[in-house]
Structure 1
Amino acid sequence: MFKHFHQVVEEGIAKNLHYGIQLSVSVEDQNFEEAFGTIDQNTPLQADDTLCWLSAAKPITAVGILILQEQNSLSIDETLGEILPQFQESHHASIPLRQLLTHTSSLREVPVNWPQASWPEILVTIANSEPVENWSEDQSAAYLPSSSWFLLGSVIEQRSGQSYVDFIQQEILDPVGMNQTRCIADSTHASSAHEVLLYDRVKGQLVLSPLLGRMKALSPSPGSSFRGPAADLRLFFDMLRSQGKGEFGQVISQASIEQMVQRHRQGRVDQTLQHIVDYGLGVIIDSNEYGPQTVPYGFGTECSSKTFGHGGSQCAIAFADPVRERSVVIIANGRPGEGQHQKRFRQLLEALELDLKSLS
């Protein structure tokens, strides 16, 4: 059914870019769950196997923040100093949550020693860090892979009175029906029969990734520790283009979704991504106008300008296109380096377009 997509996957396997890839797509009222290749060199990858999402799950935490705003428990224009005690005397006290969600704050990415360090220790480390020099609130932008997301997770705990894990489970994962999704090592949740594996490409060969250590952590990283099958993450994006309705209940209002997917950050060069990339609140907005063949973690050349989503470091893309009525999640179990990854996923998205056109 997805012959063009499958061909690109096989070409990547031959080049040692990955062992396998999951694809989950919803188009109007049709759903497709596919898996190609293997978990390792021998075991076939299944559509319901768990894979690492890394940063592709960042929008889950962003939705958590917006749920609390709906409940009048916070405002995204409140500052770190107003919410977190560790930041009352920090250089970063005046940073509003809005800037964390759009990656426009003067925070820098700092080593926080997670998961060995506790969240309170991580907050102190970030609070004591120096701001980026010569930062312009009107012009500067820099994607932060993890630091700011520990802050957002802590804000959720502070204002909800629940643990981050429990809040996300009850307010998002359960009503959406994301039954296999986890953000910590937890044997009480349903999971796949196979161990979660992720590989990095080193000197042309796939080796087990050091990031796998995160999967054994008992404390979450709100920006990077989620894992599950591609289908679970696709359900999350289906919810966002279904007026916030999950399979088992309402998650968030349409008004909050519309606020989330506005271009809050527009036309700024991202110092981390080295490209102009537009942002909503915790989501990347289609940025093809700045170069469809060069924009990192894009959503394909044929997506609408309303498309929003997020990538996972060298392994994943997840997005919703409300105009074309589709949600797409692609997750690879190999991280081949940024250049190879961007080329690979552009080819996968191009192949997917061909396959979906053949179905219509």
Structure 2
Amino acid sequence: MWPYATNPATSPSSPMPDLTPTRLLLEAGVRENRWAGFSLAAFSVHSLFTLHGGCVSDPSDSVPWYSAGKPVTALGVLSFLTQTPQLASTSLQTTFPELASSYFGGLNLTDVLTHRTGLRFPNLPVHSPAKEIFAILAKAEPRDFSLLPRQAAYDPRGGWWLLGQWLARQTQIPWEDFLCQKILKPGGAANMFFASLSRFSSVSMVEKKAGHWTSVPPSFGPGSGLCGSATDLARLYHALTM
């Protein structure tokens, strides 16, 4: 049984607040060109409420959630560790021979999950071949980022990419398939997915340039590539908090 299964009988009775002010604020932001669109969803007891507008024409439209992929990936790793807790303190080079004798290879899974690697890779090319990425990680030292060994520092790409690779090697299936089977589907978010070179969200992320909204390249990887509707994401978070 999935450890985050819900029990409707224990759901707290908390009425949804009036969302009219929020809706009016968001719609005004679209009219005034402060943002291109919006998509929100929330549960109240067993009722689902949604808000959407601008470039999001339907609450079922898939949008890029980026950092929402991080807790999903962490949950996937933690769920696997319930079966093999000793792997949390095992050096990464045990799983990744590519990191043998490197600083990164001497760290362990707990260091990565708690952001205490002393490394930061804001621009890691996660769509590159794995061999090239491992070469980058193997050469990295904390001093390259003006950090100390095992210093707490948020790493937006490197650690998350490695967690995905760790899941793939431990489970012998692609990390995105594992996260879909073990986290997304049981959490009621079966339609969510991680972006790839051949699959993107129906609504792209945009940025404002010279007063106009333009699409930006999609983000990939277990840390920032999660896509889906606001409804799916709300279902997932609802399941996780029950």
TM-score range, shorter chain: 0.7 to 0.9
Q: Tell whether 2:127 aligns with 1:81.
A: no
Equivalent position to 1:161, from 172, 176, 193: 172
Gaps of 5+ in 2: 1-17
Alignment of 1:16-165 (within 5 A): 16-39=33-56, 45-72=57-84, 75-109=87-121, 111-115=123-127, 117-132=128-143, 133-135=146-148, 137=150, 140-165=151-176
Q: What pairs with 1:203-352 in structure 2 (closer than 5 Å)?
A: 203-209=210-216, 211-212=217-218, 214=219, 220-242=220-242
Runs of 4+, deviation exceeding 6 Å: none
Q: Deviations over 1:293-352 (max 9, x none)?
A: xxxxxxxxxxxxxxxxxxxxxxxxxxxxxxxxxxxxxxxxxxxxxxxxxxxxxxxxxxxx
Q: Distance in 1 between matches of 2:240 and 2:187?
A: 10
Counterparts in 2 of 1:186 and 1:230: CA distance versus 1, 3 Å: farther
Q: Do 2:187 and 2:240's aligned partners in 1 also have CA atoms closer than 8 Å?
A: no
Summarize deviations over 1:100-137 as a string: whole Å, max 9, x none. Answer: 1222211121543232x122321221121222445164
Distance (whole Å) between structure 2 residues aligned to residue 78 and residue 239 of structure 1: 31
- Alignment deviations for residues 19-68 of structure 1 (CA, whole Å, 9 cap, x no partner): 211111123333212212333xxxxx211000011112210100110111
Instruction: Render the CA deviation track for 1:208-236: whole Å, top value 9, x for unaligned.
Output: 22x23x4xxxxx51111110001112222
Instruction: Give the structure with the higher percent helix.
Output: 2
Question: Quick check: 1:79–1:95 contact (8 Å CA) kept in 2?
Answer: yes
Q: Is the 8 A contact 1:95 1:105 kept in 2?
A: yes
Cα deviations by residue, 1:132-166 (Å, 9 ceiling, x for unpaired): 445164xx432211111111111111111111122
Partner of 2:9: none
Aligned-pair CA distance for 1:73 = 6.7
CA offsets 1:159-208 (integer angstroms, 9 cap, x no match) = 11111122112112222221321113498x9x98xx32221012333222
Q: Partner amino acid for 1:12?
A: G
Query: How high is the TM-score relative to the length of structure 1?
Result: 0.57
Contact 1:17 1:206 in 2 (8 A): no
- The one-letter amino acid of 2:137's match is I
Letter in 2 for 1:238: H
Give the letter aligned to residue 142 of structure 2. Answer: P
Cα distance in 2 between the residues matched to 1:13 and 1:34: 13
Deviation string for 1:270-308 (max 9, x for gaps)?
xxxxxxxxxxxxxxxxxxxxxxxxxxxxxxxxxxxxxxx
Aligned-partner Cα distance in 2 for 1:226–1:234: 14
Show structure 1 runs of 5+ residues with no match.
Answer: 40-44, 215-219, 243-360
Name the Cα RMSD after superposition. Answer: 2.4
Match of 1:175 in 2: 186
Of 187, 196, 207, which aligns to 1:200?
207
**TM-score, normalised to structure 2's length?**
0.82
| Structure 2: distance between partners of 1:185 and 1:146 | 16
Question: Percent sequence identity over matched residues?
Answer: 26
Give the length in aligned residue pairs.
223
Contact 2:189 2:233 in 1 (8 A): yes
Paired AA for residue 150 in structure 1: W
Q: Which residue of 2 aligns with 1:260?
A: none
The verdict on how the C-alpha distance between 1:178 and 1:186 changes in structure 2, with shifts beyond 3 A counting, is farther
